[in-house]
Each structure stands twice: as C-alpha cells, then as structure tokens.
C-alpha cells in the first residue's frame, strides 16, 4: 500500500490543526511581547541612524534586589533613552502618578502596572551603572498593537512609531562620541548574559576612562589619583 495514501488522513487533519495552532500561539502573551519587540526594533532600525543612536536590546542588569531586564536602550550624544514596549489592544486609561493603569476590551477591564513606574527601575539601574546625571536618561514607553489612549498621557508615553519621533525631539548634545562609546562598553560589561547569575564588576573600560569624566568612579586609575586629594580634604575638616 502506498505510504502517502496511508498518511493522507493525517495530512487532512493537519490542514485544520495548523491554522488553529497558529491562532492559539498569536494570542499568547509571549507572542504579543515578541511581536511588539520586533515592531520597535524595526522602527528603530529604519528611523534611527545606527551611527548616532547606539542600541542594545534585552539588556539584563544586576540590581541590589536581584536583576532587571530592559527592552531597549539607545545611547546617543543627545542622551540615553530607555524604551519599554507594551503590546496591548483596547482602550488604555492611566495617569503619570497612578500605580495601576487599566486596559478595557469591550466590557472587560484589566489592571496592569504603570509602565512609567516599571521603567523607573530600569533608569535607576542605568544611572548606577553609568554614573551619569539622571536628567540625561530618558524614559520612553511605546504602546503597539492597536490600543488607544482614553486619558491624557505624558509626552514620553507614545503609540507605535511616535516613540522614534519623541527620541529624535532631543537635539541638544550632552555627550560627545567618545563618551557614548565608553558608556556602550560600560553597559556591555555590566550586562549579564541570559541565564547567568554571577555579578559583573561595574567598571568602565580602562583604556577609555580618560574620555568620560562622568564615569570616573568606574576607573581604578582615576579613583587612585583622586584619593589623596579627598583624604587631604577630610584631614582639613
């Protein structure tokens, strides 16, 4: 008997099962999160100059209470932009100071953490790692997936490609190219690979320490040079 004839009922069944399986997968939170990340990466790739905006994705950093994962970090002469993505549909209600926001789909309401508060932990982790002024680190929230805002949102809470326009609205340079390179290297050295739990030393690369005074705390040579002066000040008090 022909093997293909024997397997024909199985093939016929798969014709119905595969579309159903795909439908189930695309409705999972995992797929929605993955697709949202893909959209933002695509926006960034085509709308942000890679030579100006150095980007890192899925960055996991150690924190005093464990670890935190950052969706996207863009380092540029105009500042550091920390982007949190939300792939959601329906109506979104929330305010800058509210702990919980609300998603409404028809008559169903779901509460979720204020993404600005969620991203605040990411900002503080970067501030501690890079030792840069907090005013140069910007929180950006990007909603993708067809949701619409039903309350007034801050400028840094955006929809779709608007997150790119918000990032590009900062035109005043605060870092030079050498400083951006130092921060990228410091962030890469402070980042830990997925599944790895050892703590990394929070230090900037020693060959670039001299180009970024803001990272002096991470440079062993500069800490040594500055210690006698600090000690003399303490002795005079």
pLDDT digits (tens, 9 = 90+) for 182-212: 999 988 886 644 433 333 333 344 444 554 5
Highest mean pLDDT (candidates 36-45, 58-67, 189-198): 58-67
Task: Please state, for a pLDDT cut of 70, what percent of the chain lies above it.
Answer: 64
Domain count, the chain: 1
Residue 166 region by backbone torsions, left for phi larger than 0, else alpha for psi between -120 and 50, else beta: alpha
- What is the spatial distance between Cα 111 and Cα 101, in angstroms, rounded to a whole number? 6
Segments forming the whole domain that contains residue 13: 3-236
Going by C-beta distance under 8 Å and a sequence separation of 6 or more, which residues neighbour residue 187? 56, 59, 73, 75, 126, 129, 130
pLDDT tens, 100-140? Answer: 999 999 999 999 999 999 999 999 999 988 989 999 999 99
What phi and psi, each to the nearest 5 degrees, are found at residue 149?
-80, 135
User: For residue 83, what pLDDT band results from cuts at 50, 70 and 90?
Assistant: very high
Query: What average pLDDT score do residues 210-221 get?
Result: 48
Looking at every residue in the chain, the average pLDDT score rounds to 78
Q: Give kind and range of the element (H or E) at residue 69.
A: strand 66-76
Joined together, the tokens standing for residue 168 give: 């590009």
- What is the spatial distance between Cα 47 and Cα 42, in angstroms, rounded to a whole number? 8
pLDDT of res. 13: 67
pTM of the model: 0.70
Of 118, 136, 124, the C-alpha closest to 62 is: 124
Residues 158-163: contacts with CB under 8 Å, at least 24 apart: 160/39, 160/43, 161/43, 161/47, 163/40, 163/43, 163/83
Query: What average pLDDT score do residues 151-161 get?
Result: 93
pLDDT of residue 77 exceeding 70, the answer is: yes
Residue with the two structure tokens 């949190």: 84
Kindly report the number of other CB atoms within 10 A of residue 127's CB atom: 15
Cα-to-chain-centroid distance, residue 204:
20
């Amino acid at each position: 008997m022909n093997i293909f004839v024997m397997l024909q009922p199985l093939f016929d069944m798969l014709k119905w099962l595969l579309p159903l399986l795909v439908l189930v997968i695309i409705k999972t939170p995992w797929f929605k999160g993955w697709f949202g990340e893909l959209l933002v990466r695509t926006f960034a790739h085509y709308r942000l100059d890679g030579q100006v905006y150095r980007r890192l994705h899925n960055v996991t950093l150690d924190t005093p209470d464990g670890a935190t994962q950052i969706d996207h970090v863009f380092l540029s002469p105009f500042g550091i932009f920390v982007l949190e993505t939300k792939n959601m549909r329906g109506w979104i209600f929330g305010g800058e100071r509210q702990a919980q926001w609300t998603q409404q789909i028809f008559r169903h309401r779901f509460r979720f953490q204020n993404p600005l508060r969620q991203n605040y932990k990411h900002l503080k982790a970067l501030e501690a790692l890079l030792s840069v002024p907090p005013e140069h680190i910007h929180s950006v929230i990007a909603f993708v997936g067809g949701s619409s805002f039903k309350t007034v949102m801050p400028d840094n809470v955006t929809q779709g490609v608007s997150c790119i326009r918000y990032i590009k609205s900062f035109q005043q340079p605060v870092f030079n190219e050498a400083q951006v390179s130092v921060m990228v290297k410091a962030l890469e050295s402070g980042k830990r690979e997925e599944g790895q739990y050892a703590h990394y030393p929070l230090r900037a690369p020693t060959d670039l320490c001299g180009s970024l005074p803001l990272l002096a705390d991470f440079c062993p040579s500069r800490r040594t040079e500055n210690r006698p002066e600090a000690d003399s000040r303490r002795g005079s008090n």
